[in-house]
Structure 1
Amino acid sequence: MLTVFALLTSCFSDLDPQPLGPNSVTSAYAYNTPADYKMGLAKLYASFVVAGQSGPGADPDISNLDIGFGIYLRGYWNLQELTTDEAVYSWTEDGTIHPLHWQTWTPTNTFIGALYTRVMLTVAYCNEFIRASAASTNTDVKMYHAEARFIRALAYSHALDLFGNPPFVTEADEPGSFFPKQTTRADLYAYIEKELTEIEEGLGEPKFEYGRADKAALWMLQAKLYLNAKVYSGTERNTECITALNKLLSRNAYTLSTEYRHNFVADNNTSPELIFTINHDAVHTQTYGGMAYIIHGEIGGNMNSADFGVSSGWAQNRVTPEFVAKFPDTSGDSDARAMFHTDGQKLEIDDVGTFTDGYAVTKFTNKTLAGGSAPSGGSIDFVDTDYPMFRLADAYLMYAEAVLRGGAGGSQSTALDYVNAIRTRAFGDDSGNINAGQLTLSFILDERARELYWEGHRRTDLIRYGLLTGGDYLWSWKGNTKAGAPTEAFRNLFPIPAFELAANPTLKQNDGYPGGE
């Protein structure tokens, strides 16, 4: 893969991108054939999961950023999960990771800064590729161009959700030394919406190639954008959410896998419900972030890492008792989604730094569905399990929520059928099915937790329901107390990192943080 890079901000302080060497290939003469463009496109996809060009530990794209916790997907998972009732983390990690769960973070938080930098770097990569491919008339390259715009829209959607008001740069801004202007949350929302509309026809049909962005991935991103539109723009857009989902669901390209766990194994690429994935391979995409982090990190205590197809357990992440209580039992006998390791683990968390305080999760594995070794045959330090960014069960639950929130174009009977299809799989029969009167917004929120936990949705879901911050919903160690305590509403957005404010004096801090209003 080729490094094509344009500096997005004037300076990343101690997170500086590595300088190009004298023999580096740039986009000015890198792209001569469609195959060259495809290699450049691969770099954009890889930016979610690898540190740089040379495997897990060498030549990172960003210097002075840990090659493990500085990976995009690892950082995204941390900010979406550790800030909620779904995950707590045991290691100290320079003293700034526990504040994520406590909701006491500051603008100097290492993990917030790391993800911010990765998001902006992915945008920069995309801008350069989009600029380089814009004039091509080759059919394949035109599709790559649309995919790059989708990847940029996905990265910007994360910036929209997490930071709200980031600096904004597109391919129209030539690389150079300048201060990128800050956008507003509403304007960024409108930009992403417009981008997705414009590129829809340029993307491949659903399932045209596994792991690449296609129309189905776009419809899922649109649906998520519209479902959260009230948070992002102040206006409900539930009808538009249903419209996007109807496009997806009418194609009948995806079905629920007969087994829930099929979505989280080393051969989950064979699951019929995965819509868009961040692909992993223990030979070709070796990383200490991404799925390697999630799988190694869920193993500890008296758990055997070989049972999960990896070399070791890192004893990092587990769940709160409040999350466990959402299941009828912890054995998985009634609801197969209750995938917990309880032997040697306490339900209550007396110390967030002790891995055996809190039940461990066994949801993800580097074993195949049949229990065999990962298919790549690579080192078991790494994994083959792909990250399920978008899958059909999520589409079903978004449809039901948008209908309950008053969106037009759907029906409550169809919504109930979708929810019960998910629950029939989970319970093995119709014993867990609900009736129309039980299909409420609060039920959907809990069902999203049961179905989608540890897949990077929980923080966004709780914000949409007004429950991430404040005191209406407490969980262990929220607010840095064991019983949970109310937190400030401004923490629904993360701060613009302090190093970015120091580098770009045109930026304004988000409200509530030092330097903001």
Structure 2
Amino acid sequence: MKNIIKKFIPILTISIALVSCHADLDQDPIDPDSFTEQDVFANTTEAKGALAKLYASLALTGQNGGDDGSPDISDINQGFSQYTRMLFNLNEITTDHAVVGWGDPGLPDLHGMFWTANNDFTGAMYLRLAQEVSFCNSFISNASALQDTEAQTFIAEARFLRAFAYYNLIDFFGDVPLLTQISTELPTQSSRTEIFDFVESELLDIQNLLPESQANEYGRVDRVAAWALLSRLYLNAEVWTGTSRFDECITFSNEVINSSYSLNTNDANGNGTAYDELFLADNHSNGAQNEFIFTINFDGISSTTYGGTTFLIHAAVGGSMDPAAYGINGGWGGNRITSALVQKFQANDMRAMWYTDGQSLEISSIPTFTDGYACVKFKNIDSNGVQGNDKRGEFTDPDLAIMRLPEIYLNYAEATLRGGSGNLTTAVDLINQLRTRAYGNTSGNISAANLDLNFVLDERSRELYWEGQRRTDLIRYNYFTSDSYVWPFKGNQADGTGTDSFRNLFPIPNNTILINPNLTQNPGY
């Protein structure tokens, strides 16, 4: 899909955005003169460009890339509105994984856990996801007129992306409108359970309509992506619906584990571990791609954005760090990690990728970049140390894996420990595969006696930090808002404190509720 997005950038102004609307969004339409639906859906070749828009809507922020002044979403800085950047803000900065030193209105509220229903960042995430649903609904409706097999695959992919958007919506916001067709009516609200059931049924229905494991183009989803999202969905079922589904989590985790995806063990840069290859500029080709189940793809020349890995790399560089060592032209001096994350790692675990020179472990003042270690997990250099495609160092190349195989290993282990029908020996073996890669040998391996739920949670932290899952994990363990686990500046207190449980959900944007009186605000807001 990196190549597809590059090929079809001119078509990203297609008119599906004109007619695909949540009526409560009140979004500005894109250029009506650029293309018509008759052009875009005239045949399968043209429709592929429209499909690229569905993927690109998660990667980019507007019609031309960068910060060009033609955003998909208004009323927020264009670079701020990119999906994975907001995923980091909502699922990492709100947790023990990260702080950000910038004072943009609404941003300090996230780590301090005192956001309101007028927060720009939670609001933009709602709009981004609702827009993705709108784009998918329009694509499905228009592409249905095409009868060939390839078009049916496109529709299955669009249904996956719509299900993925709704997965996010119920994770972040709970009860939201469920729309599967283009409509100008103000939608009513569906319950979280109803949305859960819809996502489940869609994924079950399309699993065999999607291509076989790794048979699709890189960056486009296959049936394993549906299984992986089902694994994730069922792992969270008890929180979201009140009914545990751990057996089903194990069933679909096994489907993924037994597929053709494999853990990357190619230490392409020869530094003793194959973990860091997952986050380099050539992670689409250095072996890392073999464990990437669903990626959002970036290219420093053809798909530019101030979100994505451009944000993750630039924002984590500051202090005495040399930007050139990370393949960029300058640091933004914002994001760091808390001591709570650092302390989860043992000395020889090479997944702990920190910059410590001139940085303190503890954070006295969040705005001060040198308070807290800097994270160097993502780099805009390839396995040979060569800078990414944009030789200015402004935009970056690493793709972001939204779902990769190790998460499914950890899902299997957690679901087994929570009473699912998995095998404990298998769970230990799966985790030891991750730890063998992390340590470069078996010195970090564990036995069944070491494996409990808190160990799995900490291992998720060690393996997946800064990849956009932490808040969801902490909620599942009842640690996100409770005082059973605190971290620096949780609850806006230097030593951390518990907060109100209503913050397990973000608010529906006030502006959206003003536009659509059919919606009810989440409790506490």
Shared fold, TM over 0.5: yes
**1:150-209 deviation digits (Å, cap 9, x = unpaired):** 0111111000100011122112xx332x21111110100000000001111111112122
Taking the aligned partners of 2:30 and 2:443, their CA distance within structure 1 comes to 60
- What is the CA-CA distance between 1:223 and the residue it aligns to? 0.3
Query: Is 1:240 the counterpart of 2:269 in the alignment?
Result: no
Secondary structure, aligned partner of 1:353: coil
Matched residue type, 1:188: I
Give the corresponding residue for 2:282. 267
Give the corresponding residue for 2:137. 127
- What is the CA-CA distance between 1:351 and the residue it aligns to? 1.0
Partners of 1:47 and 1:122 within 8 A in 2: yes
Secondary structure, aligned partner of 2:293: strand
Give the corresponding residue for 2:3. none
- What is the CA-CA distance between 1:511 and the residue it aligns to? 1.4
Taking the aligned partners of 1:22 and 1:474, their CA distance within structure 2 comes to 51
Give the corresponding residue for 2:264. 256
Query: Is 1:455 the counterpart of 2:467 in the alignment?
Result: yes
Taking the aligned partners of 1:323 and 1:149, their CA distance within structure 2 comes to 36
Give the corresponding residue for 1:342. 356
Query: Is 1:495 the counterpart of 2:507 in the alignment?
Result: yes
Matched residue type, 2:93: L
Query: Is 1:105 the counterpart of 2:120 in the alignment?
Result: no
Taking the aligned partners of 1:339 and 1:204, their CA distance within structure 2 comes to 36
**1:55-102 deviation digits (Å, cap 9, x = unpaired):** 2122212233211111122111210101100010001012x1111111
Give the corresponding residue for 1:116. 126
Secondary structure, aligned partner of 1:141: helix
Give the corresponding residue for 2:312. 294
Query: Is 1:170 the counterpart of 2:184 in the alignment?
Result: no
Give the corresponding residue for 1:480. 492
- What is the CA-CA distance between 1:379 and the residue it aligns to? 4.3
- What is the CA-CA distance between 1:322 and the residue it aligns to? 1.2
Give the corresponding residue for 1:308. 326
Matched residue type, 2:337: V
Which of 354, 365, 378 is the matching residue for 1:351? Answer: 365
- What is the CA-CA distance between 1:11 and the residue it aligns to? 4.3
Taking the aligned partners of 1:386 and 1:211, their CA distance within structure 2 comes to 9
Secondary structure, aligned partner of 1:69: helix
Taking the aligned partners of 1:369 and 1:402, their CA distance within structure 2 comes to 35
Partners of 2:85 and 2:307 within 8 A in 1: yes
Taking the aligned partners of 2:458 and 2:38, their CA distance within structure 1 comes to 51
Taking the aligned partners of 1:389 and 1:70, their CA distance within structure 2 comes to 17
- For 1:81-230, list aligned pairs within 5 A: 81-94=92-105, 96-171=106-181, 174-176=182-184, 178-208=185-215, 209-230=217-238
**1:326-377 deviation digits (Å, cap 9, x = unpaired):** 1123xxxx11011111111111111111111111001000101221222x35
Secondary structure, aligned partner of 1:276: strand
- For 1:8-19, list aligned pairs within 5 A: 8-12=21-25, 16-19=26-29
TM-score scaled by structure 2? Answer: 0.93
Give the corresponding residue for 1:397. 410
Which of 43, 57, 79 is the matching residue for 1:68? Answer: 79
Secondary structure, aligned partner of 1:130: helix
- For 1:308-327, list aligned pairs within 5 A: 308-327=326-345
Taking the aligned partners of 1:250 and 1:378, their CA distance within structure 2 comes to 40
- What is the CA-CA distance between 1:136 and the residue it aligns to? 2.1
Query: Is 1:437 the counterpart of 2:437 in the alignment?
Result: no
Q: 1:510 to 1:237 in 2, by over 3 A?
A: same
Which of 380, 401, 406 is the matching residue for 1:388? Answer: 401
Partners of 2:261 and 2:405 within 8 A in 1: no
Matched residue type, 2:248: E
Secondary structure, aligned partner of 2:80: coil
Taking the aligned partners of 2:303 and 2:339, their CA distance within structure 1 comes to 35
Partners of 1:254 and 1:275 within 8 A in 2: no
Q: 1:390 to 1:50 in 2, by over 3 A?
A: same
Partners of 1:256 and 1:393 within 8 A in 2: no
Q: How many residue pairs were aligned? A: 500
- What is the CA-CA distance between 1:403 and the residue it aligns to? 1.0
Runs of 4+ residues over 4 Å off in structure 1 = none
**1:216-267 deviation digits (Å, cap 9, x = unpaired):** 1111101000000001111111110111111111124323334000110001
Give the corresponding residue for 1:362. 376
TM-score scaled by structure 1? Answer: 0.94
Partners of 1:77 and 1:455 within 8 A in 2: yes
Give the corresponding residue for 2:89. 78
Taking the aligned partners of 1:241 and 1:53, their CA distance within structure 2 comes to 38
Partners of 2:224 and 2:259 within 8 A in 1: no
| RMSD (Å) for aligned C-alpha atoms | 1.3
Taking the aligned partners of 1:21 and 1:339, their CA distance within structure 2 comes to 44
Partners of 2:24 and 2:186 within 8 A in 1: no
Gaps of 5+ in 1: none
Taking the aligned partners of 1:235 and 1:308, their CA distance within structure 2 comes to 45
Partners of 2:50 and 2:139 within 8 A in 1: yes
Matched residue type, 1:367: I
Secondary structure, aligned partner of 1:148: helix
Partners of 1:397 and 1:444 within 8 A in 2: yes
Which of 41, 57, 68 is the matching residue for 2:51? Answer: 41
Matched residue type, 1:187: E
- What is the CA-CA distance between 1:311 and the residue it aligns to? 1.3
Secondary structure, aligned partner of 1:202: coil
Select between 488-497 and 51-60 the one with higher mean Cα deviation: 51-60
Taking the aligned partners of 2:358 and 2:211, their CA distance within structure 1 comes to 48
Taking the aligned partners of 1:420 and 1:133, their CA distance within structure 2 comes to 45
Give the corresponding residue for 1:328. 346
Matched residue type, 1:79: L
Q: 1:490 to 1:22 in 2, by over 3 A?
A: closer
Taking the aligned partners of 1:21 and 1:185, their CA distance within structure 2 comes to 35
Select between 359-368 and 269-278 the one with higher mean Cα deviation: 269-278
Taking the aligned partners of 2:423 and 2:200, their CA distance within structure 1 comes to 25
- What is the CA-CA distance between 1:28 and the residue it aligns to? 4.4
Matched residue type, 2:196: Y
Matched residue type, 1:347: L
Partners of 1:18 and 1:60 within 8 A in 2: no
Matched residue type, 1:62: I
